[in-house]
Amino acid sequence: MAGQDCLAANEWICGEFVRTRSQELVDASVEHLWITAASVAAGVLLALPLALLARRWRAAATPVLGVTTVLYTIPSLALFSLLVPVFGISASVVVTGLTLYSLTILVRNFLAGLDAVPEDAREAARGMGYGPIRLLWEVELPLAMPAVMAGVRIATVATVSLTTVGSIIGYGGLGNLIKEGMQSFFKAEVLTASVICVVFALVADLLLLGVQRLLTPWARAAKAAG
């Protein structure tokens, strides 16, 4: 009865809402997570070659950074509208849009990480017979990993939030519930979906921080020694 009362009173915190709409919350959460993961993964796959291009040919750095910055300034509604004729009303619109937004953060961090690799480390690797590919994967990327992972963490947290904007076309994960709740002024729906988004962002950041520490054991050793 108390649970029904919180629904009838339209309270912000209502356990009965979570109980009765649990499947809807799960479905929205799953959609939210896979859209976020796909967008960040695609962003990483695009950002690395762009960062390598900008580092290899310095003349390309300004255009690459400029274009990715301009993409980030395009309002979501306008960007999604431009993508709909290409992909139709589908989750691909949201994933593509969020991927483009993530490039602003990822390309800059990847490039900063690669630029921070000491030149003597590169020279030592070349002296040991490392070719360009092996040098990149075994020396440069590992040393650039702190900046790379910092970029991935920021992009992931930002994407968790931006995924809600996909509700514009019906593919916003938890954003669909937030939009629905705002339209009907259903307080529990808005707050519950919002809290889950925040939890996802925090958990994702902590998990990626753990991955960063696993990938950079020398950084922990240096910190302990200091």
CA dist., res. 30 & res. 33, Å (int) = 5
d(CA 223, CA 59): 37
The average confidence (pLDDT) of the chain is 89
Q: What is the pLDDT of residues 148-166, one digit of tens each?
A: 999 999 999 999 999 999 9
Residues 6+ apart with CB under 8 A from 145: 113, 212, 215, 216
Band of the pLDDT at 61, cuts 50, 70, 90?
A: confident
Q: What is the pTM of this model?
A: 0.89
DSSP 8-state assignment for residue 130: -
The domain segmentation of the chain, as residue ranges, is 27-215
- 27-215: CATH, from 1.25.40.420, 1.10.3720.10, 1.10.390.10, 3.40.50.300: 1.10.3720.10
Angle at CA of residue 48, ends 145 and 124, nearest 5°: 55
In a 3-state reduction of DSSP, which class is residue 11? coil
pLDDT (mean) for 176-197: 92
Residue 99 half-sphere exposure toward CB, CA atoms < 13 A: 19
Confidence grade of residue 174 (pLDDT, cut at 50, 70, 90): very high
Answer left, alpha or beta for residue 13, where phi above 0 means left and psi between -120 and 50 means alpha: beta
Mean pLDDT for 65-71 is: 91
